[in-house]
Structure 1
Amino acid sequence: MTKHPALPDNIAYWVGVDGGGTHTRARIRNQKGELLGEGRAPGSNLELGIDLAQRHVLGAVRDAMTAAQLPDSALARMSAGLALASAELESCYRDFLAQPLPFAETRLTSDAFGACLGAFGGGEGAILIAGTGSVGLIFQGGRIRTCSGRGFPISDLGSGAWLGLRAIQQSLLCHDGILAPSLLAVRLLDHFGRDQAALVRWAAQAIPADYGRFAPWVFDAATDEDSLAQALLSETRDQLETLIGGMLAQGASQVALLGGIGERLRPRLGHLPLVTPQADALEGAILFAKRKELPCLHP
């Protein structure tokens, strides 16, 4: 935790930030718990760059301040709970907190732990986030354990990035005549002007969020009864089922399934002990700012 040297105890506002691979969201509440404003910015996954993440975190907070009609000086009166992707990596965690931050207090944790705190009202539980990336977390006995979430493409199974990558891989096989023709493949390859060299150049520069943008295309094509898209959704469901099953085997009694991909595939996983989250990751981040006894990722 870092403190602003001028106003270490003058806290007037609680701010929670949830930062993933695609979006960063911020929420500001006053000391009475009243909602003052919310804001958004691009993703703030720490692995994509500490400076970039800090810029997007502050951008989301300033956007929320604009909505709340707060002056810039209010930053130094905020206790901030930041729940950011890749904060579980110690080097990312320490590098981010080594940067100058304008808040009176800053507490940093992972987006997964922020989501878990929100989902279970600050209590113990287990969550699986399947958004642009994926990560599972079990908070039990005062300890935090994670699974998956080591970054795309080596991990993050069942995520939007993973689904987008698989869609492109299979679409190329359709183009080569290895797989049957597919509406999804036609749409994806048309997007690149049917220029395979352009697709290869794009892939050389693409980040997880770029792959994740194709995940909704798979859902749309599945709705249009495309067999390739339906098979890809079944694959993704199976990946999530594997992760949830492993978490249950490690002692989780119930799991909150979160994230855009998780929410859309939840009906296909109804046989598992899934629970509806009590609140979102922004509320979890605010709880993390308030409750100093909650475990720190890297003491």
Structure 2
Amino acid sequence: MTTDAIFIGIDGGGTCCNAKLFNRDKQVLAEAQSGPANAFVDAQQAQESILSAVKLCLASVGLSTSALSSVYVGAGLAGMGVTSAQQLMVDWEHPFAHFAVTTDVHISALAANGGADCGLVVVGTGSCGAKLYNSGLVQYGGYGFCLGDDASGSWLGLQALRHTLQALDSVVDTSLLSDEVVLHLGHSDIASIIESFHKLGPKEFGQFSPIVFRCAYADDKAALTIIQQGARYLDKLIQRVSDDFSQPVFYYGSVMTHYIPYLKQAAKKILVHQKIMPERGAIVYLEQTLRALDEI
């Protein structure tokens, strides 16, 4: 590896792709954000988002795209637990000097406790739990929008829309939640709602998660029911990754913080806010892969 090598850590999720450019002392020199980077939902979009974020980082330090061949990228992406997504990312003909990619959960776990063993719960657009043990990662949940991601932002949005449609059908009573969703949509036409959301993904559903929490804080019964269901799942997930509440669990993700008041006391006691940026964990993973190749 040459002295002019550039190190960039990527944290790619269903909503956005965050990138940070580090020097050899692991100081952040630049950072950027681009579009969604879920490798399973859309691998091509993930690749485009990564490339865009890297270019933005380079531009921030006065470098042009000609520097891409000197860039060493470590990336953790949502959806990388799926074999087909892994293959698409491994086969990507990227322009970088090196590209090491794993799951977003893996880099978060590596960042959370400095690479040491720990439990982790991530709740953002998607959700999952994990245990890092002897440098190996065991993941729980995170099966995607259709089959999993319980309690996540996208899951909350889906539940809110389902409730709203039932309220518009007069199958259940209207609520503050259904009223707020209709207000956000700008209309209450069921056919239009179905047409608009039938083929949309996690990011679009996730936009409704703040509404659910806002209505829950106002003691709306429908919103509270959804939040409590999500919290029950997270209690069980935390119990699983902490060996029955016996070990600290780091948490990460914009949605997770809002759930804490609704969790069991046993879960609250062992939760530790992850303050180390996941992009730094991506650099740790990058170093591990380069070390295995004897490049550092």
TM value normalised by structure 1: 0.90
- Give the letter for the 2:279 counterpart: L
**Shift in CA distance, 194/278, structure 1 to aligned 2, threshold 3 Å:** closer
Rounded to whole Å, the distance in 1 between the matches of 2:51 and 2:244 is 37
- Give the letter for the 2:129 counterpart: G
| Counterpart position of 1:211 | 205
**Shift in CA distance, 253/125, structure 1 to aligned 2, threshold 3 Å:** same
| Counterpart position of 2:278 | 281
Aligned-residue offset at 1:244:
1.3
Does the 8 Å contact 1:38/1:65 carry over to 2? Answer: no
Rounded to whole Å, the distance in 2 between the matches of 1:133 and 1:79 is 27
| Counterpart position of 1:198 | 192
Rounded to whole Å, the distance in 2 between the matches of 1:97 and 1:88 is 13
Is residue 116 from structure 1 mapped to residue 103 from structure 2 by the alignment? no
Aligned-residue offset at 1:250:
7.6
**Shift in CA distance, 250/293, structure 1 to aligned 2, threshold 3 Å:** farther
1:39 to 29, 32, 38: 32
Aligned length: 288
Aligned-residue offset at 1:138:
0.9
Is residue 271 from structure 1 mapped to residue 266 from structure 2 by the alignment? yes
- SS for the counterpart of 1:64 is helix
Does the 8 Å contact 2:127/2:149 carry over to 1? Answer: yes
Of residues 267-276 and 48-57 in structure 1, the stretch that sits farther from structure 2 once superposed is 267-276
Aligned-residue offset at 1:294:
8.9
Per-residue CA deviation, residues 189-224 of structure 1 (Å, 9 max, x unaligned), is 341511000111112121111111100111122233
**Shift in CA distance, 224/188, structure 1 to aligned 2, threshold 3 Å:** same
Does the 8 Å contact 1:21/1:44 carry over to 2? Answer: yes
Rounded to whole Å, the distance in 1 between the matches of 2:242 and 2:24 is 37
Is residue 62 from structure 1 mapped to residue 26 from structure 2 by the alignment? no
**Shift in CA distance, 122/283, structure 1 to aligned 2, threshold 3 Å:** same
TM value normalised by structure 2: 0.90
Is residue 134 from structure 1 mapped to residue 127 from structure 2 by the alignment? yes
Aligned-residue offset at 1:247:
2.1
Question: Where do 1:169-208 residues align within 5 Å?
Answer: 169-190=162-183, 191=185, 193-208=187-202
Instruction: Report the aligned-residue RMSD.
Output: 2.1
Unaligned runs of 5+ in 2: none
Rounded to whole Å, the distance in 2 between the matches of 1:106 and 1:72 is 16
**Shift in CA distance, 225/250, structure 1 to aligned 2, threshold 3 Å:** closer
Of residues 281-290 and 270-279 in structure 1, the stretch that sits farther from structure 2 once superposed is 270-279
- SS for the counterpart of 1:188 is helix
Aligned-residue offset at 1:94:
1.7
Question: Where do 1:69-148 residues align within 5 Å?
Answer: 69-148=62-141
Residue identity (%): 27
Rounded to whole Å, the distance in 2 between the matches of 1:139 and 1:201 is 42
**Shift in CA distance, 252/49, structure 1 to aligned 2, threshold 3 Å:** farther
- Give the letter for the 2:210 counterpart: P
Per-residue CA deviation, residues 67-108 of structure 1 (Å, 9 max, x unaligned), is 222222222112110101111222211211211111111111
Rounded to whole Å, the distance in 2 between the matches of 1:250 and 1:16 is 33
- Give the letter for the 2:284 counterpart: L
- SS for the counterpart of 1:46 is coil
| Counterpart position of 1:3 | none
Does the 8 Å contact 1:118/1:281 carry over to 2? Answer: yes
Of residues 277-286 and 36-45 in structure 1, the stretch that sits farther from structure 2 once superposed is 277-286
Q: Which portions of structure 1, spanning 4 or more consecutive aligned residues, are displaced by more than 4 angstroms?
A: 8-11
| Counterpart position of 2:220 | 226
